Amino acid sequence: MALKATIFKAELQVSDLDRGYFATHALTLARHPSETDERMMVRLLAFALNADEALEFGRGLSSEDEADLVLRDLTGAIELWIDVGLPDERELRKACGRARRVKVYAYGGRAAQLWRAQNREGLERLANLDVVELPAELTGELAAWAERGMRLEATIQDGHVWLHCGDRQAELSPAAA
């Protein structure tokens, strides 16, 4: 018998002063049985950093060859393809051919650094790819925030991000690696 996804609901308030984007999103996240809380929360962080009314979550880990988050224009063309984790370089090349922009939010501490070093040459050839390495301390902290019902706030200004969830807070300055 196949295990079913666990459903999480998140109310995410985004105040992105850099882009002039202010909205509250009622999100439903399906966490695949093999997905960790850390990965799910990185997907939620990636949503906050790229928030848009048309940004959507992909079908998840069980669907290969699909983005974790995708933003399409009105014609259905892919404007933004977002992957989290340490994707295969070959898959990123395909994504860069299909989308105008591709972003990877890499996490995992030392593993993310090794992945970046091993794939540096191939990744640098992809002009429309940005890789953002997230600190392990931050992603570990976000994993502890995971609840079936969450209310989060993200404020973005001058490339700096402040996250709040109840009485917990975290901040980061995500920069392309």
Domain ranges of the chain: 6-172
Alpha-carbon gap, residue 18 to 24, rounded angstroms = 17
Tokens of 46: 């990636």
| Residue where the block lists tokens 């890499």 | 106
Assess whether pLDDT exceeds 60 at residue 138.
Answer: yes
- Residue 25's SS3 state is strand
86 pLDDT more than 90? yes
* Top CATH class, 6-172: alpha beta
* Confidence band, pLDDT 50/70/90 cuts, at residue 3: confident
Quick one: the chain helix, strand, coil %, rounded to 5? 25, 40, 35
Q: Note the pTM of the prediction, 2 decimals.
A: 0.94
